């Protein structure tokens, strides 16, 4: 399997639009890996996770062949993870040349996100042309998409977004994709304890970075504790790749400081465009 981190920032990205803190000013000056767009990953060039407003940028820069993508799974309905207004561009009048005609782009989302997508699609050309579809998913109810076995598990995030994390498996490989969330809810911990899986990649939210606070988003300590718990359950080991992402300009450190701390703790600090193959 291969996972590509298209965007690794939190809701405001780095640099934040109206901020002149040292992290944001360094990003404007240094560019490159200091720039973080909103969170999105692509797995095996087929399975898209989340649809932020920066999807346009990821596609425009050649990082994402969006016209060829047919499946997007959505963690939750916050605007930095689901920006449904851009879905309209898939209708024939806007994008007349779209490969694999007749195969829709299907979104798999929990209740709130599902309703947002339906609002954009239903009763217009997108609905009639069958270029976009939506499937309602629930925490702890597995489904298959694009040849991947996917289990949504409950996240500790804004409850009104119906948030989930994903366990994604294919061909004997498995990813735990864990953002946005604080420390894992008890029902998710119980599921993990008994699931008998082994993760090749564990990717965790680290929005709070060096700062205290692990509600709705993790910090470094919460990430370390989560990995230790997973190791106790036999879910991962020294061969597992550990990643922190969803990084914020207010996390208490700049890019270099984040990378050094992550490495010291056994993680890779993700950056936009980073690819892992395993």
Return per-residue pLDDT of the chain as tens, 278 residues: 999 999 999 999 999 999 999 999 999 999 999 999 999 999 999 999 999 999 999 999 999 999 999 999 999 999 999 999 999 999 988 888 876 667 899 999 999 999 999 999 998 888 888 899 999 999 999 999 999 999 999 999 999 999 999 999 999 999 999 999 999 999 999 999 999 999 999 999 999 999 999 999 999 999 999 999 999 999 999 999 999 999 999 999 999 999 999 999 999 999 999 999 99
The model's pTM is 0.97
Residues with Cβ within 8 Å of 94's Cβ and at least 6 positions away in sequence, in order, are 88
Nearest-CA neighbor of 229 among 180, 163, 168, 184? 184
Are 103 and 65 in contact by the 8 Å Cβ rule? The answer is no
| 11-16 own/partner pairs: CB under 8 Å, 24+ apart | 11/38, 11/78, 11/79, 11/80, 12/80, 12/248, 12/249, 13/37, 13/38, 13/54, 14/247, 14/248, 14/249, 15/249, 16/249
What value does the CA radius of gyration of the chain take, rounded to a whole number of Å?
18
pLDDT of residue 100: 65
pLDDT of residue 101: 64
DSSP-based three-state secondary structure for 82: strand
């Amino acid at each position: 399997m291969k996972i590509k981190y298209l965007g690794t920032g939190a809701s405001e990205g780095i640099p934040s639009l109206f901020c002149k803190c040292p992290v944001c000013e360094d990003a404007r000056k240094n560019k490159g890996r200091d720039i973080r767009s909103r969170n999105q990953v692509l797995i095996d060039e087929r399975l898209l996770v989340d649809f932020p407003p920066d999807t346009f940028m990821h596609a425009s820069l050649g990082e994402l062949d969006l016209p060829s993508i047919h499946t997007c799974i959505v963690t939750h309905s916050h605007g930095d993870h689901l920006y449904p207004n851009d879905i309209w561009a898939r209708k024939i009048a806007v994008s007349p040349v779209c490969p694999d005609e007749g195969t829709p782009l299907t979104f798999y989302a929990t209740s709130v996100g599902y309703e947002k997508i339906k609002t954009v699609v239903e009763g217009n050309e997108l609905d009639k042309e069958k270029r976009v579809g939506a499937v309602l998913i629930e925490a702890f109810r597995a489904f298959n998409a694009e040849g991947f076995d996917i289990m949504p598990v409950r996240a500790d995030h804004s409850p009104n977004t119906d948030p989930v994390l994903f366990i994604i498996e294919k061909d004997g490989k498995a990813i735990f994709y864990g953002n946005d969330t604080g420390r894992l809810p008890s029902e998710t911990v119980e599921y993990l304890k008994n699931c008998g899986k082994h993760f090749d990649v564990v990717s965790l939210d680290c929005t709070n970075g060096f700062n205290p606070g692990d509600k709705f988003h993790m910090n470094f300590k919460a990430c370390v504790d989560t990995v230790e718990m997973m190791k106790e359950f036999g879910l991962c080991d020294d061969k597992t790749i550990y990643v922190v992402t969803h990084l914020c300009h207010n996390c208490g450190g700049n890019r270099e400081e984040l990378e050094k701390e992550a490495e010291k703790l056994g993680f890779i600090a993700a950056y936009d465009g980073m690819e892992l193959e395993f």
